[in-house]
């Protein structure tokens, strides 16, 4: 029955509810008015109609002949169908089962104002017999909800609070409670109005008069509701956001006549040639005969189906049959031929069997994909692979069908059309289909980026080319913003030029700054707020502008100067002319550099400025800028990707350590603070590894790379940044020490191979080694130093024992404790006396026999001094000389090594400062050095005035602690050398990142033979193989019995007809 809304309710919700728009659509419901006796076996009363309502509720109580009940004949349409808001805030509408899909689309998109979905997923399966498992909740449900949230998808279910749908509803509720700031999940329940328990009460308008009644009605204990529920009734799952309540005039009848499949197909525009395709998939969890029928109709509509293996019943049944019939995957002859059910068998009794056979045939089974709950497979990868594979095969079949139709039409018009026109038609058709495929692949790329499915995207979308993508620049920027390093790596590997994306000449001319788009897109305020970074802590503010934002190159340069140091020159300029003037101002380039002056007009030749430098230079600049952006935004994986495409890697890695340590200094205690220091350590090791790679091939160039100025990074050196960032491990590297020694000795290599050394080595060889000690300088042995150190330890121990024991034995008699000396005591204290009375006798006393010591001790066994000497000797030998020494060595060896290593690193860090300090000092001794200092100070003041007031360049010839090459080919050699020997390591680091993010695909693909073999192994690992075999055999036996019974019935029917018509062989 229809029910109108109260005027008060309509007026209060007119501006915010979709009621008016739904009223304009003239949505209708259906009511059974013509009684037809029920033919159902489960009918409890004989006077019930087929719609399961009593006869007295029908206006026409007389049966119409012997006709069976149908919705068209026995029901009538009712206007003013119920619609509005449920107590949980969800929107609902009651609509007839034959409502056109276009009207349902208008309700969803226009009345309820749902955003158009980027993905539609339907969940079908278990209801009353469903059993939840831990694997299902952990591996599937949570993954599904997260997937729907990331892709702005529509989740479609039957809307009943039972089975898998109840589990999905609980997961939605938990998600919304934990992430209340995010957009709610769009979950649409497509259910039957007559199957919802207390539907009339829960859909009452929520005005003041009915709110209390509705609340009281819903506040019923589960036990009471279970007692009140009749067969065919279920509670409505109240955590969905929208409900389409279908009505065919019946009650307690689940059949929706596949309205869900038709609506999803219409919304996804699967079979529409020129509309935008929306990815759609159906997931089957457990289930029974209804689930088999659901996936059958979905497969007929070219909707890919994911079967959750391990969930039980129908899902496991399909999984087993896909495994045992996997040979059909290789059926090339029939992979494009789809046989309808009518072609398989016409009998109604085996419809279910033929539906299963339809789903398993080669031309359909490619839409089926198995997801194993017990594997490590990622759900998003499985779903996306299924969508891509299904669309690929569908497009192939459609293209083949179109070509056949086109060929047929050409044959009919062969006499009228020329061969050239045929070729033109084929080419035009091919171009149109290619453009449609590119558009579709672009939409799939958008979904792949939301799910971060790089493996499937690389296989089905990129295909080693960017020609399949429309709007490459837009998606490259999107990958940057959404922190998708694997996609950024793929874009760069396939040849996208970021300089063309951000330094477009057209945009440059419009904005007057080549960095306008770069700053606008990547240093957006919202993007900085989302990221886990302390970037805003270092953005400079002024009296006029207190907002911590980056909106121009000046603020970006100030930020880097604050983070890295004032020794770094500015990196960002609006125009190339500004960059040139800045470099000229600070004496970084010569006046006769890349830009020339016109002698007549004394102006800059802009043609030389804007033409050649700049394509290769722009690529270097943008890669540097993207790397610094990634580090500033604390996107470490992204920074690794950009490092792999740069030629200079050591210096930027050290700059990253400096930035991250600055972040660490202002971060509060927590995981982020620990992550900063961890990542800083990683980049330091990254720089060390790259330096070692270079050092293994050429020591001299490695030293030059460390000390040369990097024009790309503000003319700093690697050692300069490492010292400022306190990267002690890098400074303590052999190549760094070698570079500092070269400067200290005025570029004299410590292990130099000069002619003098070669001549000395020659004399050593000719003399068969006799003159080698004289001419050749040998490396001092470290073992001798260790032996001397050990001898010092032994001497200390011996002296301590010797003083104590000798004083007791040989001191003059006192209290009958010492023995007679037989003469005067030598009280002198000199080296000879100490050696003769303490060191020399004690050594022999400890490790051998000396004089009559043993005789004296043996002859006086009762004397106190003798007993004390024996006890002292025993204690010394057991505890001091053995246990304590070994214990101390064992305890402190590791600590000594660490202290030594730290001391060594600190010393080399100080060595760099000392070397740099003495490098800049006067070569003369005081007081002559004072004159040099005065001259240097006057020179510095002169060039300051010259630069500040006369706009002249700074002192280009001042002494700096850098290697500055005056030849461009030398700089190119340095860059190529560093790139050649560090490129492999850089790309290995990115590949390791890629491999870490790729989930195992074993057991998830029914279209791949190897994957299915792995899936069968996983399946047998969970359940016993014998039980599976027995179950399959039982299924085969049941099918065999069914087929034999059908054959017998057919034979009986044939014999019956023959007997009625007579024997045709009898004349």
Q: Residue 908: CB partners within 8 Å, gap ≥ 6?
A: 728, 731, 732, 736, 737, 740
Q: Write down the pLDDT at residue 249.
A: 87
Are 572 and 551 in contact, with CB atoms under 8 Å apart? no
Q: Which residue has the higher pLDDT, 1040 or 594?
A: 1040
Q: Which of 294-303, 313-322, 638-647 tops mean pLDDT?
A: 638-647
Q: Which of 291-295, 377-381, 1044-1048 tops mean pLDDT?
A: 291-295
Q: Which element (helix H / strand E) includes 242?
A: strand 242-247
pTM: 0.75
Q: Which residue has the higher pLDDT, 273 or 707?
A: 707
**DSSP 3-state of 327:** helix
**DSSP 3-state of 923:** coil
Q: Which residue has the higher pLDDT, 1009 or 798?
A: 798
Written as six digits, the tokens of 433 are 């289909």
Main-chain dihedrals φ then ψ at residue 517, nearest 5 degrees: -70, -35
Q: Write down the pLDDT at residue 1007.
A: 40
Q: Write down the pLDDT at residue 842.
A: 57
pLDDT over threshold 70, residue 211: no
pLDDT in tens, 833-863: 655 555 555 555 555 555 566 666 667 777 7
Q: Which residue has the higher pLDDT, 961 or 1035?
A: 961
pLDDT in tens, 776-786: 655 445 555 65
Q: Write down the pLDDT at residue 750.
A: 44
pLDDT in tens, 23-39: 888 888 998 988 888 77
pLDDT over threshold 80, residue 203: yes
10 Å CB burial of residue 687 (0-12, 13-18, 19+) is buried
Q: Write down the pLDDT at residue 605.
A: 43
Q: Which residue has the higher pLDDT, 245 or 615?
A: 245
**Residue 100 confidence class, pLDDT cut points 50, 70, 90:** very high
pLDDT over threshold 60, residue 342: no
pLDDT over 90, % of the chain:
25
Mean pLDDT of the residues in the chain: 76
Main-chain dihedrals φ then ψ at residue 92, nearest 5 degrees: -145, 160
**Residue 413 confidence class, pLDDT cut points 50, 70, 90:** low
Q: Indicate the angle between helix axes 734-744 and 671-695, nearest 10 degrees.
A: 60
Half-sphere exposure of 16 (CA within 13 A, CB side): 6
> What is the distance between the alpha carbons of residues 359 and 300, in angstroms, rounded to a whole number?
9
Q: Write down the pLDDT at residue 88.
A: 87
**Residue 4 confidence class, pLDDT cut points 50, 70, 90:** very low
Are 264 and 156 in contact, with CB atoms under 8 Å apart? yes
> What is the distance between the alpha carbons of residues 1 and 10, in angstroms, rounded to a whole number?
20
Are 153 and 121 in contact, with CB atoms under 8 Å apart? yes
pLDDT in tens, 878-933: 666 676 677 667 766 766 777 778 888 888 888 888 888 887 777 777 777 788 77
pLDDT over threshold 90, residue 613: no
Written as six digits, the tokens of 68 are 């069976």
**DSSP 3-state of 306:** strand
> What is the distance between the alpha carbons of residues 422 and 428, in angstroms, rounded to a whole number?
10
C-beta contacts of 1022-1026 below 8 A and 24+ residues apart: 1022/310, 1022/374
Q: Write down the pLDDT at residue 480.
A: 95
CA distances from 134 to 287, 505, 598, 693, 715 (A): 18, 57, 79, 49, 59
Are 142 and 177 in contact, with CB atoms under 8 Å apart? no
Report, as an integer, the average pLDDT of 723-729: 92
pLDDT in tens, 134-175: 766 667 887 888 888 888 889 999 999 988 899 899 889 988
Q: Write down the pLDDT at residue 928.
A: 78
pLDDT in tens, 437-478: 888 888 889 989 988 899 899 999 998 989 888 889 999 999
Q: Write down the pLDDT at residue 328.
A: 56
**DSSP 3-state of 47:** coil
In this structure, of 283-297, 572-586, 743-757, 916-930, the range with the lowest mean pLDDT score is 743-757
Work out whether the CA dihedral 538, 542, 547, 552 comes out positive or negative.
negative
pLDDT over threshold 50, residue 596: no
CA distances from 539 to 542, 565, 574, 663 (A): 10, 14, 19, 12
Q: Which residue has the higher pLDDT, 582 or 17?
A: 582
pLDDT over threshold 70, residue 1014: no
Q: Write down the pLDDT at residue 9.
A: 43
Total Cβ atoms within 10 A of residue 3: 14
């Amino acid at each position: 029955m229809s029910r109108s809304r109260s005027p008060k309710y309509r007026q209060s919700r007119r501006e915010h509810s979709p009621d008016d728009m739904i009223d304009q659509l003239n949505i209708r419901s259906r009511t059974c008015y013509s009684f037809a006796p029920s033919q159902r076996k489960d009918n409890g009363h004989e006077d019930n109609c087929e719609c399961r309502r009593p006869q007295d509720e029908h206006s026409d109580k007389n049966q119409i002949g012997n006709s069976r009940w149908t919705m068209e004949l026995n029901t009538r349409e009712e206007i003013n169908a119920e619609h509005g808001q449920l107590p949980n805030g969800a929107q609902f509408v009651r609509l007839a089962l034959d409502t056109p899909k276009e009207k349902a689309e208008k309700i969803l998109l226009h009345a309820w104002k749902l955003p158009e979905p980027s993905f539609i997923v339907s969940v079908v399966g278990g209801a009353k017999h469903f059993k939840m498992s831990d694997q299902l909740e952990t591996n599937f449900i949570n993954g599904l909800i997260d997937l729907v949230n990331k892709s702005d998808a529509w989740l479609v279910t039957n809307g009943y609070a039972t089975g898998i749908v109840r589990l999905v509803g609980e997961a939605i509720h938990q998600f919304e409670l934990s992430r209340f700031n995010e957009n709610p999940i769009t979950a649409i329940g497509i259910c039957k109005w007559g199957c919802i328990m207390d539907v009339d009460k829960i859909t009452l308008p929520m005005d003041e008069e009915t709110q209390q009644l509705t609340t009281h009605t819903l506040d019923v204990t589960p036990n009471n509701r279970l007692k009140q529920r009749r067969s065919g009734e279920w509670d409505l799952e109240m955590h969905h956001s929208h409900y389409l309540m279908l009505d065919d005039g019946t009650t307690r009848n689940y059949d929706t006549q596949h309205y869900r499949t038709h609506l999803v197909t219409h919304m996804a525009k699967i079979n529409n040639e020129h509309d935008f395709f929306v990815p759609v998939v159906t997931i089957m969890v457990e289930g029974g005969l209804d689930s088999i029928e659901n996936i059958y109709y979905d497969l007929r509509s070219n909707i890919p189906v994911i079967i959750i293996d391990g969930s039980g019943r129908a899902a496991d049944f399909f999984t087993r049959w896909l495994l045992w019939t996997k040979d059909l995957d290789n059926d090339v002859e029939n992979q494009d031929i789809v046989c309808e059910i009518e072609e398989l068998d016409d009998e109604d009794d085996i419809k279910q069997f033929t539906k299963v056979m339809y789903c398993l045939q080669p031309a359909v089974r490619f839409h089926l994909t198995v997801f194993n709950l017990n594997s490590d497979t990622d759900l998003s990868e499985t779903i996306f692979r299924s969508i891509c594979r299904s669309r690929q095969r569908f497009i192939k079949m459609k293209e083949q069908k179109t070509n056949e139709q086109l060929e047929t039409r050409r044959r009919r018009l062969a006499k009228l059309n020329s061969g050239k026109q045929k070729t033109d038609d084929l080419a035009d058709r091919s171009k149109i289909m290619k453009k449609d495929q590119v558009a579709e692949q672009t939409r799939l790329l958008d979904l792949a980026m939301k799910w971060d499915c790089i493996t499937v995207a690389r296989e089905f979308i990129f295909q080693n080319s960017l020609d399949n993508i429309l709007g490459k620049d837009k998606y490259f920027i999107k990958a940057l913003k959404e922190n998708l390093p694997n996609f950024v790596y793929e874009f760069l590997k396939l040849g996208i030029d970021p300089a063309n994306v951000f330094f477009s000449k057209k945009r440059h001319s419009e904005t007057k700054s080549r960095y306008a788009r770069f700053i606008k897109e990547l240093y957006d305020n919202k993007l900085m707020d989302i990221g886990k970074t302390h970037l805003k802590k270092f953005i400079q503010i002024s009296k006029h502008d207190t907002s911590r934002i980056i909106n121009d190159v000046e603020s970006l340069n100030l930020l880097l100067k604050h983070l890295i140091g004032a020794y770094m020159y500015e990196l960002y300029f609006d125009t190339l002319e500004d960059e040139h003037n800045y470099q000229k101002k600070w004496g970084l380039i010569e006046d006769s550099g890349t830009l020339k002056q016109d002698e007549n007009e004394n102006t800059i030749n802009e043609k030389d400025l804007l033409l050649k430098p700049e394509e290769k230079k722009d690529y270097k600049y943008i890669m540097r800028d993207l790397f610094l952006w990634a580090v500033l935004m604390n996107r470490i994986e992204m920074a690794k990707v950009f490092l792999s495409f740069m030629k200079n890697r050591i210096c930027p890695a050290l700059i990253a350590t400096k930035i991250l340590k600055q972040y660490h200094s202002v971060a509060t205690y927590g995981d982020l603070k620990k992550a900063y220091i961890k990542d800083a350590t990683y980049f330091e090791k990254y720089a060390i590894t790259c330096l070692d790679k270079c050092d293994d091939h050429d020591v001299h160039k490695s030293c030059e790379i460390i000390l040369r100025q990097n024009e790309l990074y503000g003319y700093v050196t690697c050692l300069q940044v490492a010292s400022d960032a306190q990267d002690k491990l890098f400074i303590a590297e052999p190549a760094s020490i070698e570079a500092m020694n070269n400067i200290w000795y005025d570029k004299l290599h410590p292990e130099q191979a000069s002619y003098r050394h070669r001549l000395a080595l020659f004399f050593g060889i000719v003399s068969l080694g006799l003159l080698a000690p004289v001419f050749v300088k040998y490396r001092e042995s470290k073992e001798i130093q260790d032996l001397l150190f050990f001898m010092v330890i032994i001497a200390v121990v011996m002296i301590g024992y010797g003083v104590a024991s000798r004083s007791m034995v040989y001191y003059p008699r006192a209290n009958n404790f010492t023995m007679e000396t037989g003469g005067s005591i030598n009280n002198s204290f000199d080296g000879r006396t100490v050696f003769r009375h303490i060191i020399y006798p004690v050594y022999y006393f400890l490790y051998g026999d000396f004089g009559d010591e043993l005789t004296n001790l043996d002859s006086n066994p009762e004397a106190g001094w003798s007993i004390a000497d024996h006890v002292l000797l025993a204690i010394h030998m057991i505890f001091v000389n053995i246990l304590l020494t070994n214990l101390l060595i064992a305890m402190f060896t590791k600590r000594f090594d660490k202290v030594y290593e730290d001391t060594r690193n600190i010393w080399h860090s100080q060595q760099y400062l000392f070397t740099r300090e003495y490098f800049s000092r006067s070569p003369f001794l005081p007081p002559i050095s004072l004159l040099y200092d005065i001259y240097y100070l006057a020179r510095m003041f002169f060039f300051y005035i010259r630069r500040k007031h006369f706009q002249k360049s700074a002192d280009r010839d001042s002494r700096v602690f850098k290697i500055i090459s005056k030849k461009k080919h030398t700089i190119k050699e340095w860059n190529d050398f560093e790139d050649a020997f560090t490129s492999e390591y850089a790309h290995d680091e990115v590949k390791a990142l890629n491999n870490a993010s790729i989930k195992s695909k074993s057991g998830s693909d029914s279209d791949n033979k190897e994957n299915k073999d792995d899936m069968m192994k996983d399946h047998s690992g969970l359940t016993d193989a014998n039980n599976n075999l027995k179950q399959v055999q039982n299924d085969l036996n049941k099918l065999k019995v069914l087929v034999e019974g059908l054959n017998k019935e057919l034979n009986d029917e044939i014999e019956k007809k023959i007997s009625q018509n007579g024997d045709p062989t009898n004349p």
